[in-house]
Amino acid sequence: MSRVSMFSSPLLLGFDQFERTFDRLAKNAEGYPPYNIERIGENGLRITLAVAGFTSGELAIELVENQLTVRGKQVEDGDRVYLHRGIAARQFQRAFMLADGIEVMGARLDNGLLSIDLVRPVLEPRIRTIRIDSGNAADSADHMIDITARRSR
């Protein structure tokens, strides 16, 4: 059974990467740890994860391309003997896809809450006029091949 892509419209060109990103994030949709995302001021964002029981040394934050990944791994204390264990020492990985231009400003662990501050830069609208050349279609195809060859060098 094939599924219909939300980016299958012929009016949406070059958005296939978004679809792959959505698929990857859907596979990473575990509910632990819980988190909030809030707006801070005009251009700021804050991701807050509930990571009670983790120290800063047991947490790692990594930004690769546009994917922000938070990992937590607690070390088992073999000296403890539990009569009841309701707080599991479990590892986690939570990923967030950031839009182009969003910058990570810093992170803070306070009272079991890991806060990651982000900022969205103010983008100026880009307006560009495209020149229309006249000529036959074969010349245009040769021109596009020449442009592509120059970019790949």
Residue 2: inside a domain: no
pTM above 0.75? no
Residue 121 inside a domain? The answer is: yes
Q: Which tens digit of pLDDT belongs to each residue from 103-116?
A: 999 999 999 999 99
Chain centre distance of CA 152: 27
Tell me the residue type at 46: R
Overall domain count for the chain: 1
In a domain, 50, yes or no: yes
Q: What is the chain's pLDDT, residue by residue, as a tens digit (153 residues)? A: 455 666 667 676 776 776 776 666 666 656 789 999 999 999 999 999 999 889 999 999 999 988 999 999 987 777 888 898 877 678 999 999 998 889 999 999 999 999 999 999 887 888 999 999 887 766 555 666 665 565 555
Which of these, 58, 47, 69, lies nearest to 113 by C-alpha position?
Answer: 47
Could you give the CA distance from residue 83 to residue 34 in angstroms, rounded to a whole number? 27
Residue 10 is assigned to a structural domain of this protein: no
* DSSP 8-state symbol, 10: T
- The answer to whether residue 41 is domain-embedded is yes
- The CATH number of the domain holding residue 81 is 2.60.40.790
Asked if residue 18 belongs to a domain, the reply is no
Residue 141 belongs to what domain range? Answer: 32-151
Any bridge partners for residue 64, and if so which? 67
